[in-house]
Structure 1
Amino acid sequence: MGEYKTPGIYIEEIEIGGRPIEGVSTSVAAFIGVTEKGDEYENRPTLITSWSEFVSKFGRYLQTEETLSDEEENRKNEILNMSASVYGFFQNGGKRCYIVKVPDITQSSIVGTDGGPGKRTGLYSLEEVDEVSIIVTPGITDNSIQTQIIAHCEKMKDRIAVLDIPEESGKTDAVDFVKNLSSDKGYAAVYYPWIKVPVEREEKLGGDTEEKIVLEERFIPPSGYVAGVYARTDAERGVHKAPANETLLGVTELKFKITNNDQENLNENNVNCIRSFPGRGVRVWGARTIASNELWRYVNVRRLFMFIEESIEEGIQWVVFEPNDKALWDRVKQSISSFLITLWKNGALMGSTPEEAFFVKCDETTMTPDDIDNGRLVCEVGIAPVRPAEFVIIKIAQLTASAKQ
């Protein structure tokens, strides 16, 4: 309080009630893989906001007349998977992504090393980028690498892995592949099959005086395109909407055609299918994580909780070191409740009233005297997330004259 020495009226601004919580971004992807150029960016997460910026820094898929060894051909395909996936991310609605260029796709390069702040490589380097919410490693289907990616997402708790299945895997192989992956709380989702898309290829042939850009249709892993659908759905509907029954823009063909009968087994085993429908195009036709716990079965539920948890964490940083008394508890409760009411009004939570959609408790029932003595403020939040209508059942009966009586 200031000093008052001159008689008069003094106006002071004070804070009462909670502070507003702003929702965090949920649509920033991170791509890990090899690129045509950009050695100066190696193992440095680099923000990209457009396809042209990616080309400028990391190059396209390059075609030359040189005869390539098997190793060189494999690397060319790895570059193709990476560049085409980033292109598909932006084409399908993505706006921002980080590129982590690595020297090769071995486990040691993709996962990287944890050398401490500023010295982390590969996947570890993304621990320093809080903005990332989607992890993509296009075409990387090695089980040990994917397991490490899932572990990274579970550790960070603010991102989900979008994973691929090997290109030539049949439907039974796809189910067996996913059975070898696990995440109890659903920090990963798998998509199948591979997709054929037009790929921008930089052509440098002997008779040409300058480089040409041509389109070549190739099969690529779907993860980058699906990540773009995540971003588009978040922007148009919100993170609570399942990123399914959404068109995959730019896809001309699927590696395998999937029927309703095929999808029964695939869906039951948490393989998200990509399907082609006459007159409706190619669509993402699955919204499941690989979670064994049914509470985290759906991608949108997992991502909604990630969004709420991180938004609250960042939105109540002002609470730290404030006097831990009832006035503070009430302000925290008000801040979180106001944020959740907005989500409920936007359709992210179940219930016809806020009381049915969530609860927030921050009082003597959530904290013991020992908690308070040791500087702990404990707030309990419960929410009822909206789950997707995965199976729509319409029951139709024949109305007869006798039934009318």
Structure 2
Amino acid sequence: MPTYLSPGVYVEEVASGSAPIAGVGTSTAGFIGAFADSINIVEPNPDYDPSQPINKKTNPAHITTTFSPVNVGEVKLCTNFSEFKKFFGNFTLGANQNKLVHAVYGFFNNGGTRCYVVRVLNKNISHITAEFLEKKFGSIDEIAIVAAPGITDKNVSDAIITHCQNTQDRFAILDSPSDLDGSKTMQPGDDNVPGRSDYAAFYLPWIQVFDPATKMENPNGDGLIYVPPSGHLAGIYARVDQQRGVHKAPANETIRGALGLQHNIGKAEQGELNKHGINCIRNLNGNIRVWGARTLGGDANGEFKYINVRRLFNYLRESIDEGTQWSVFEPNNPELWSKITRNVNAFLTNMWSTGALFGNTPEEAFYVKCDEETNPPEVRDLGQVVTEIGVAVAKPAEFVIFRISQLSGSQ
């Protein structure tokens, strides 16, 4: 208490005791690419004469300039495509770097706003291990999505999955090899599919996009190529998070910039793939749409078979973790238990109001328990305070069924 010596009015500031839990970000991506230290960037030839046949020596449609990207292992934050080009280069022809370029372009085009990018050399893809990812991305707390566009090596995919499982606040988006067409039954652990994990999603096929470099090389062509979809999908995750919330499945969404598919997958083929958590991208009524919302493993992943359920739990865990750091070293007594209960209740009530939790009332949607029952003397003697939280998550309507019958004319 302050000491007052002179008569008068004194106004004191008193802490409210409230520490609201703010939701963490869910849409920042971490991208890994593999390409050389020197890249040939394609640019229009200012002297090209379109009235004459293209000739690589006398009348080339394009020219190339050499570009040196940032050093191997250097992580760069990109908040728009122009920043990415400054660090990693523009579109080019037939190079692994071009897969990363299209991925990042597709990320921003589909709603992404922030991503961190790092590269390794082509010959050092095996260096992309869980330890490498922890070293490069581990300290960047805001990363919530991890992808290596076009790198379909199973060891790399498994390393990304391991990294996400270890951090417990990240989700992996994995590309299929370009030749996988969905014509045969496949499941996690097969030759071309990573092992099962509810911290990852696996997509096929590759998508067709317009490539400026290909068009510059041949102005008379259509400029279309096939690229891995993971960057575009990361952008869709971000878009859905911003428009609807992380609880909404990132599916039944149009892929902006996708003009076609490398392989067309039908309903019967998807039925076999879906149960194993292999998500399909399909051409439906002329729109290229994400038509799957399962984690890698599908039915085998139990209550975490849906992407949005896993990502919502990641979000809840991280938000509550960061939003209750103030409680560390506080006196472990009923006052502390009440504060924790009040703050977590307020946070989950807000989540319920957005539709993330299932129930007609907050009491039906969740509960928070932090009292003498969860914190008996033996727990307090260990310096621990235990809070038990239960939530009812809203699952996606994956199969929408209408039962239609015919009424008799007399009714």
Provide, for residues 328-369 of structure 1, a one-character-per-residue CA deviation record: whole Å limited to 9, x for no partner.
110111111101101100111100000111111111111221
Give the letter aligned to residue 162 of structure 2.
Answer: A
Structure 1 residue aligned with 2:140: 129
Change (3 A) 1:296 1:51: same
Structure 2 residue aligned with 1:10: 10
CA contact (8 A) 2:214 2:223 kept: no
Q: What pairs with 1:1-400 in structure 2 (closer than 5 Å)?
A: 1-35=1-35, 36=39, 37=67, 39-63=69-93, 76-104=94-122, 106-111=124-129, 114=131, 121-122=132-133, 124-172=135-183, 175-176=186-187, 179=190, 181-184=194-197, 186-201=198-213, 216-279=223-286, 281-291=287-297, 292-400=300-408
Give the letter aligned to residue 29 of structure 1.
Answer: A
Structure 1 residue aligned with 2:54: none
Larger deviation, residues 296-305 vs 254-263: 254-263
Q: What TM-score do the two structures reach when normalised by structure 1?
A: 0.87
Partners of 2:369 and 2:123 in 1: CA distance: 47
CA contact (8 A) 1:18 1:332 kept: no
Task: Report the CA distance between 1:125 and its aligned residue.
Answer: 1.0
Structure 2 residue aligned with 1:73: none
Task: Report the CA distance between 1:79 and its aligned residue.
Answer: 1.1
Structure 2 residue aligned with 1:209: none
Provide, for residues 27-77 of structure 1, a one-character-per-residue CA deviation record: whole Å limited to 9, x for no partner.
0001101354554342122100111111111102324xxxxxxxxxxxx43
Partners of 2:366 and 2:205 in 1: CA distance: 38
Partners of 1:316 and 1:359 in 2: CA distance: 17
Provide, for residues 243-282 of structure 1, a one-character-per-residue CA deviation record: whole Å limited to 9, x for no partner.
0000001111101111111111111121111011115x11
Provide, for residues 174-202 of structure 1, a one-character-per-residue CA deviation record: whole Å limited to 9, x for no partner.
72466553345x10000110111112328
Change (3 A) 1:203 1:216: closer
Change (3 A) 1:259 1:203: closer
Partners of 2:354 and 2:123 in 1: CA distance: 42
| Structure 1 vs Structure 2 CA RMSD | 2.2
Q: What TM-score do the two structures reach when normalised by structure 2?
A: 0.86
- Unpaired stretches in structure 1, ≥5 consecutive residues: 64-75, 115-120, 206-211
The alignment of Structure 1 onto Structure 2 pairs a total of residues equal to: 375
> In percent, how many aligned pairs have the same letter?
43
- Unpaired stretches in structure 2, ≥5 consecutive residues: 40-66
Partners of 1:226 and 1:250 in 2: CA distance: 11
